[in-house]
Amino acid sequence: MDDAPYFPFEYLHCYYLSLIPPVWFLVMNPRVEALDDIKNGRKNKKQSQWNNIMPATEDDVSRMRVGWACIGALQVLLGYLSFF
């Protein structure tokens, strides 16, 4: 099961990320496209990471940074709103 697909973040963080659809698709679409390429026998053109044991490309790292920044901003916003 080590080569099975993984979520890019923990389950709760993926839930937060799904609250912002453009960011969710930015992070998840390359993973889904890579799996689709593998399923159909095509070579993954972008070499996108779809599990955690594959080496991350620069594209993967930049998408992860965007994801972490949005998760952090959303947690700060929800924390701020919880005081009202």
Global confidence as pTM: 0.71
Average pLDDT, the chain: 82
Contacting residues for 67 by C-beta, under 8 A, at least 6 apart: 8, 9, 13, 17, 23, 26, 27
Nearest to 64 by CA among 4, 9, 12, 2: 9
pLDDT digits (tens, 9 = 90+) for 32-70: 888 888 778 877 777 777 776 777 888 888 888 998 999
Q: Say how many C-beta atoms besides its own lie within 10 A of residue 43's C-beta.
A: 7
Q: What is the mean pLDDT of residues 28-32?
A: 84
Q: What is the mean pLDDT of residues 3-19?
A: 80
Cβ atoms of 7 and 14 within 8 Å: the answer is yes
Contacting residues for 4 by C-beta, under 8 A, at least 6 apart: 51
